[in-house]
Structure 1
Amino acid sequence: MVRPRKPEAERRSRTIGVRVTAAEAAEIAKRAAEARMTTGGYMRRRALGQPVRVAAVHRLGARERVELHRIGVNLNQIARALNSGASAPTGTLEAVERVAELAAGLLTGEALDR
């Protein structure tokens, strides 16, 4: 399937040239890579005052993978019960809040407690 063409107003058809030193180019490329963006996309967002967040990449250890699997199993069981017409099990809200805490811990790289 062919991707539909964007309207003319949304197409990025203009080019703006900027001269930089080799050191500046390397720094811009490094920052763009840290943000997991292309150099052009990074420069466009910075020039337009839009936020550029550095993407944090955390490797999950065996303990975190096990905990994440347990979370997924629990969420699947809750979803299955709700989809079959059952009322929400007691403690569902607390479980969802705990999932949010654990997910935040995984994203920040903090140690998980049980």
Structure 2
Amino acid sequence: MGRPKKELTSLKLIQVNIRMTVDDYIKVSDNARTIGLSIAEYIRRKATQKSLPKKKVSPTDRRLFVELSRVGNNLNQLAKYVNSGIRDPYNIHKQLEEVKALLQFLKSNITGNDR
């Protein structure tokens, strides 16, 4: 018994060729590779507004992201203490803001590929 025939509407019979700049191609291919799709499937899903899979994150980046989240949680606890109205003898409020901004920058670089 052979494989069942596909319906005519589900066959990919039509080919569409497009031109793009080298920069556009690099961006599209990087985005497709990041989420584990072929370039053609990535473009097809974007053009038809179908959902894209979540970005694949390497185990190293995942561990880094978890650790950064823990640090951020500790910083939020410290910020809550500082903002509670208790006198800040060490003037850490400004330093906390700088560290939070740095953490946000690092997190965005881990997950920063545009889909």
Q: With the length of structure 2 as denominator, give the TM-score of the two structures.
A: 0.47
Higher RCO by CA contacts (8 Å cutoff, separation 6 or greater):
2
Q: With the length of structure 1 as denominator, give the TM-score of the two structures.
A: 0.47
Kindly name which structure, 1 or 2, has the bigger radius of gyration based on alpha carbons.
Answer: 2
